[in-house]
Chains A and B, each alone.
Chain A
Amino acid sequence: MDLNLTPQELQFRDEVRAWFAANVPKDWVKRRNAEESMQARFDYLRQWQRKMFDAGWAGVSWPKEYGGRGASLMEQVIFIEEQARAEAPPMANVLGLGLIGPTIIAYGNDAQKKRFLSKILSAEEIWCQGFSEPNAGSDLAAVATEAKLHGDHFVINGHKCWNSYAWAADWCELVVRTDASAEKHKGLTVILVDMRSPGVEVRGLKQMSGESEFCEIFFRDVRVPAENVVGKVNDGWRVAMGTLMHERGTFGAALQVNYRRQFNRLLEIARERGRTDDPIVRQKLAQMYAEIEVMRCNQMRAFSRINETGVPGPEGSIQKIFWSELNQRFQQIAMEVLGPYGQLAHGSPDAFDEGQWAYGYLRSRGNTIEAGTSEIQRNIIGHFVLGLPKSY
């Protein structure tokens, strides 16, 4: 075991760290918790991505030929950790950079790569994903949105939901059913849809945390050129699964740093409030410290395995359950440490940290649902890792 970074990795880390130190906007930390319109916030993050793009930091994991940096897995992890450590704003085109760009690189044709990739990196075109439907959530292959070929166009009708960033998106990676007679996994196609096409309607879905981070999208006789199909017609399940693989990947790297920062802040508050002598509070804080550390150990092990073998090991499959359930326990303990102050929301002058703890508590409730529910994750472990019969 050797957890030290190589000289090249250290050099990369120092370079990233120096760039963030010089360029992270000074007003971000304050602005992060401030009240502003989603649009104003989004414009700000778009500008920030443009700045990162100009400096060559957008899409570090992407191959060099498509405008990325071709960073190794360890470099990606370092980059993500440094970004979190510097408390840098996120980039606006989250889904384009993390999921859709890599999907186009893996499955798209040359014309699609040429047309879309650089505009994803520069945030000139924002992307959303159209996967889930009211009747196709965990059972994604039950997608019913239909696409019928008319000459050189598909005509699309259907209803998608839980679409993050759809309100800001220029384009959508859409999963549609192109063969209703085929077995359910075999009649699906992935197609890229211009969100400004006639017949596309986006409606905000207000979440329990009060935001409208995601939306639902209605498609009514939307005409999409057949050349926008990614991969082959009726081979969409493979393409969509490729996209979802990226959803797991290095996502946890930033979380671990964020959790540690929040833990340190909670410790400060506990000290200020004179709670650190209470044996029960000590037990609970120590438990959280331990769990965040175990998550970090799991992650180092998972990254190291992928680095060596190119494929995730068994420890990779537990990450989603681990971080989501950990965060729910952590936010609850934060509430206990804060006492009656914990419930105070944004806008209350008496709230700690502009009400971010109340927000964090509500937001964490979604963690065991988004990006694959805990139940689906346990099915995956049960069947694909432990070899138990498929339960569904």
Chain B
Amino acid sequence: MQFGLNEAQQILQKNARRFFAAECPMTEVRRIMETDTAHDEKLWSHMAQQGFLGVVIPEEAGGMGLGVVELAALSEEMGRALVPGAFISNLLASSAIHAAGSRKHLAEIASGKTKATLALLESSAKWDPDAIAMPALKGEKMFVTDAAIADVIVVAARDHGELALYLVDGKSAAKTPMPAVDLTRRIYKVSFNGGGELLARGDAARKALDQALDIATVALCAEMTGGMQRTMEIAVEYAKTRKQFGKPIGQYQAVQHQCADMFLWTESSRSAAYFAAYALDSAIPEARSAVSVAKVYASDACRETGNRGVQVQGGMGFTWENDTHLFYRRAKASEIAFGDATYHRERIARLVIDQRHPQAVNA
């Protein structure tokens, strides 16, 4: 049994860490987040050169053809560096295209030439694909990440009551920014008025959407773990150097134990995220519940780690110049994205309680 990254995966992760440290330090994050779209074309093209944009896109379609574990290793580093922009949007859209059995746009997405996103939520704001109501293809989608820079949008809609996925030219849709908490990943209202090319319909559409959401959710959980790790490091560093009453504040148990909790949550999120990645790669029966377990845990843990990160640093932690709030903002957006803990607990309940999912005590 080997729970952890193999040598090649470790190299990938190390390279990613080095790459983002050089190409996307916090000064760059702050510069990019002040732009209209929080997207930087130069960083994006460099990421494409590294192969990062096509990690799970098959080699024959122009990607690296790696697994979800490798994707998680990369995502964790991106979370640690708080890389702004459309990575998760691109991943979700390209995974849906691939899962629908198409290769359209995949090579261009991997090479960075085409940027993609997926439009799912509507005014009902429900993540469950059953809640999709917009008729094909006329109406408004909401909370669509990175829509402003998307060349292509995968749209989930209903065609005569049936769920269907369409590819829509990004330029043909009207986009309105929805100003929100996370400054590094922008969301939009997007209006569609006809057009679009059918990608999948019925069960095939549902399957493709579910699969893409599972992959993107695991990547997000790994990214959240990276963000938690960095949040903890910033707080621990502060607790070691900041003195009050003549001692480093990290010597006081009230502070030290909060740091220990941050550590416990970060490591546990990491374990759950990588197990879910492995579960998707090896298609074990409990893969779907493993994804929800990871998101349930990371959603609460990421928010709480942010809370402690600010608290430990006191007034300094509440300032704009301290990086903690940027992670804190991202944590809230990530907690919400693809369903919060409450949503995923209900998904677990459906898989485990209702379907009497195999409950092997020890398989």
Contacts and interface: CB of A to CB of B under 8 A. Distances in A.
A270 B293 CA distance: 21
Nearest to A374: B257
Interface centre among A5, A264, A301, A383 (most CB of B within 10 A): A301
Interface in B295-311: 296-297
Contacts, number: 180
A85 interface: yes
Contacts of B124: none
B247 interface: yes
Contact of B236 (A285, A301, A386): A386
A264 B354 CA distance: 13
A85 B278 contact: no
Contact of B271 (A287, A297, A391): A297
A303 B3 CA distance: 8
B69 A1 contact: yes
Contact of A260 (B3, B263, B361): B361
Interface string B195-225: 0000000000000000000000000000000
B257 A388 contact: no
A184 interface: no
B360 to A, nearest CB: 8
Contacts of B191: none
Interface residue range, chain A: 35 or more
A304 B3 contact: yes
B348 A286 contact: yes
Interface in B244-287: 247-248, 250-253, 256-257, 259-261, 263-264, 267-268, 270-272, 274-275, 277-278, 281-282
B104 interface: no
Contacts of B289: 289, 293
B290 A318 contact: no
Interface residues of B, number: 53
Contact of B349 (A82, A283, A321): A283
A379 interface: yes
A300 B271 CA distance: 9
Contacts of B236: 386-388
B348 A289 contact: yes
Nearest to B9: A1
Nearest to B354: A276
Interface in A346-392: 375, 377-379, 381-383, 385-391
9 contacts: A264-B359, A289-B348, A290-B293, A294-B297, A297-B274, A315-B270, A379-B257, A382-B250, A382-B260
Interface of A: 1-5, 9, 74, 81-82, 84-85, 257, 260-261, 263-264, 267, 270-271, 276, 279, 282-283, 285-287, 289-291, 293-294, 297-298, 300-301, 303-305, 307-308, 314-315, 318, 321-322, 375, 377-379, 381-383, 385-391
Given A85-B361, A381-B263, A382-B259, 20 more contacts: A3-B1, A5-B1, A84-B362, A286-B296, A287-B345, A293-B290, A298-B267, A300-B1, A300-B3, A301-B274, A303-B3, A315-B270, A378-B256, A378-B257, A378-B260, A386-B236, A387-B236, A388-B236, A388-B259, A391-B251
